[in-house]
Structure 1
Amino acid sequence: MILTLLACAMLAGLALIVYLSWSFSPRLTVAGAGLLSLLLAHGAWKIFRDPAKGRGHRGLAAATTAGFTLTAATAVFLLLYGAGCSCM
């Protein structure tokens, strides 16, 4: 029950962020969503591709990989516990 309430609060917070950013500037909202999509795609590409030999993680690669992992974990959490939320 607590996790469902947390998922509902997260969904409400995300909806509020989208509403406020869209009311401030629709162009910046779309541009920000595009940039976030590119960063998440880069993180996913770095996770699922074969590692290059002799190269370690660099700053941007590590940040986008962590961002993708956090976003994927949040999405799974919201799918599991947000489905029971009556606000959808």
Structure 2
Amino acid sequence: MGVRRAAKGFAEFLVETVGEAVAEALLGALACALLLCLGFLLHLSWSFSPRSTVLGLGVLSLLLAYGGWRTFRDPVEGGRRRGIAAVTTAFFTLTATTAVFLLVHGTGCDCL
């Protein structure tokens, strides 16, 4: 009876360990692919028009700054986010989440 329980426990441990290794490899590959796509898009944009690239990055920076300001400021009583405030807040949240994902999983990417 004890041997079966030990074998079952070892099998569960093995499945969990292999599952975590596969998941880590998939997340690493996804982070590497995301970094490559972002770099390719930046290169493509710069080769098309450097001025438009700088202007676009400036606009994105302003949207991120406004979204961060709207996210972390004290909420107004009875008010909810509408229009551009909701869009910039969602954009800021998506960008921050992507940055954290790349920081955690993209640091081990040897594709660069």
Q: Which has the larger radius of gyration?
A: 2
In the superposition, the TM-score normalised over structure 1's length comes to: 0.97
In the superposition, the TM-score normalised over structure 2's length comes to: 0.76
Cα deviation digits, residues 35-73 of structure 1 (max 9, x gap) = 000001100000100011232211110000000000000
Gap regions ≥5 residues in structure 1? none
Moved runs in structure 1, 4+ residues, more than 2 A?
Answer: none
Query: Does residue 85 of the first structure (1) align with residue 85 of the second (2)?
Result: no
**Structure 2 CA distance, aligned partners of 1:73 and 1:54?**
28
Question: 1:15 Cα shift?
Answer: 0.2
Task: Output the amino acid matched with 1:4.
Answer: G
Question: 1:76 maps to which residue?
Answer: 100
Question: 1:34 maps to which residue?
Answer: 58
Higher relative contact order (CA 8 A, sep 6+): 1
2:67 to 43, 46, 55: 43
**Structure 1 CA distance, aligned partners of 2:90 and 2:58?**
18
Gap regions ≥5 residues in structure 2? 1-24
CA RMSD of aligned residues (A): 0.7
Higher mean alpha-carbon deviation, 40-49 vs 54-63, is at 54-63
